[in-house]
Amino acid sequence: MDITYLPMKRGFLYLAVVLDWASRRILAWRLSNSLTADFCVEALEEALRRYGKPKIVNTDQGSQFTSAEFIATLNEQSIAISMDGKGCWRDNVFIERLWKTIKYEEVYLRAYESVSEAQASLTRYVSFYNARRPHRSLDGDTPDAVYFESLPLRAAA
């Protein structure tokens, strides 16, 4: 999980994403106009509600992810916490690649006028990204194909 900023026509927003590393599937995301922890907790809770509990969650050491509310959400579910080393972008390279993809394929092509416009446009893009955009690192498959293909294996385990 990580956060990035998104430029708009006037100002910017913050985007938090919960990403499944193995399939590159975006499990949940939220936009905010401030860097408080609440939108990160909301994205995390949605991912947990929709897809179940992972064994581990990786984030950087930002104040949103070290907040009492975020840590409590993970601890309540007995989810192991992994945090990147300070200044070590390579520790979270999968989501850093996602940020580049989202910005170059969606955000930089538009100048969002409002939060609602950004929300609607990103909703369409995330749907495209998960279901129709092939990934070289997934042998040309989509994140959805890889994620949902592995569900029977996860259930068997």
Look at residues 130, 152, 153 and name the one whose alpha carbon lies nearest to residue 143.
Answer: 130
Backbone dihedral angles phi then psi of residue 99, each to the nearest 5 degrees:
-60, -45
Q: How many CA atoms lie within 13 A of 3 on its CB side?
A: 24
Mean pLDDT on 78-98: 79
Question: What is the residue range of 107's domain?
Answer: 2-156
Q: Which pair of structure tokens corresponds to residue 66?
A: 């070290």
Task: State residue 89's pLDDT score.
Answer: 60
Instruction: Give the number of domains in the chain.
Output: 1
Residue that has been written with the tokens 């995301």 in this structure = 29
Task: Answer yes or no: pTM beyond 0.75.
Answer: yes
pLDDT tens, position by position, 99-139: 999 999 999 999 899 999 999 999 999 999 999 999 888 88
Q: Which pair of structure tokens corresponds to residue 34?
A: 């401030």
CATH number, residue 139:
3.30.420.10
